[in-house]
A and B are shown apart, each in its own frame.
Chain A
């Protein structure tokens, strides 16, 4: 199994530009999570999906952030327009729950976003 695949690994952009982060979960997993990691705030849950449906997006910081999961094998996190305070490492994770909540999450290697 290839694991959770995120792209790009690094993204440098200028303030005001649109940024799109991509994630391919492990095949067959029915939960997908987006987290943001910063030194100041640690790991923050932004949003998660179950069977491609967004369940809880209360962690999305502002309307500038949006996430989609058009099918079971692909998800995007978009920031438009980006700001310097969005600089962080963004992680995607997936799990196979089948209605149970004791499954661990499998993480991708993250996307390091720098907004100048």
Chain B
């Protein structure tokens, strides 16, 4: 079975500072990894995905994530955050079991 652990439930950060949201996964088979963002009263939107190839993937809004197979991690990073990045971020894993499992979410709060 696959599972996802997001290590931080809340991450406060000041505007223009860098941020890293941590995600670890477990799966007995090859996986595909995703990060989603959820703004208040909205559904989840895809930020980026890792399918294969380069372990560093770039997404929308200046976010990027690095897949580390040996550490079973897929941490999300942004070098300089904006107030508008304040949202809930979800890491997710999908494998040959076909469904998609989500982590508990990390609430990123960007302060001025």
Determine which of A42, A48, A97 lies in contact with B102 in the assembled complex, contact meaning CB atoms within 8 Å. A42
In the bound assembly, the distance between CA atoms of A81 and B35 in angstroms comes to 35
Residues of B contacting A102 with CB < 8 Å? Answer: 32, 49, 51, 94
In the bound assembly, the distance between CA atoms of A43 and B49 in angstroms comes to 19
Tell me, rounded to whole Å, the shortest Cβ–Cβ distance linking A80 to chain B.
25
- Could you list 27 A-B pairs, sorted by A, with CB under 8 Å? A4-B43, A35-B102, A42-B103, A43-B90, A43-B102, A55-B98, A91-B43, A91-B44, A93-B44, A97-B98, A101-B94, A101-B96, A102-B32, A102-B49, A102-B51, A104-B34, A104-B49, A105-B44, A105-B100, A106-B46, A107-B36, A107-B45, A108-B43, A109-B41, A109-B42, A109-B43, A110-B42
Chain A, interface size category, equals 20 to 34
B44: nearest residue on chain A (CB-CB)? A107
Complex interface bits, B69-112 against A, C-beta within 8 A gives 1, otherwise 0 = 00000000000000000000010101111111111110000000
Residues of A contacting B105 with CB < 8 Å? Answer: 42-43
Number of A-B contacts (CB under 8 A): 55
In the bound assembly, the distance between CA atoms of A102 and B102 in angstroms comes to 15
Given contacts A45-B100, A56-B99, 7 further A-B contacts (CB under 8 A): A45-B99, A45-B101, A93-B44, A101-B94, A102-B51, A102-B94, A105-B46
Residues of B contacting A107 with CB < 8 Å? Answer: 36, 43-45
Determine which of A101, A106, A109 lies in contact with B98 in the assembled complex, contact meaning CB atoms within 8 Å. A101
In the bound assembly, the distance between CA atoms of A21 and B36 in angstroms comes to 23
| Interface hub of B36, B43, B100 (most chain A Cβ within 10 A) | B43
Question: How many residues of chain B get a CB closer than 8 Å to chain A's CBs?
Answer: 25
Residues of B contacting A93 with CB < 8 Å? Answer: 43-44
Complex interface bits, A53-80 against B, C-beta within 8 A gives 1, otherwise 0 = 0011000000000000000000000000
The answer to the question of A50 belonging to the interface, with a C-beta cut-off of 8 Å to chain B, is yes
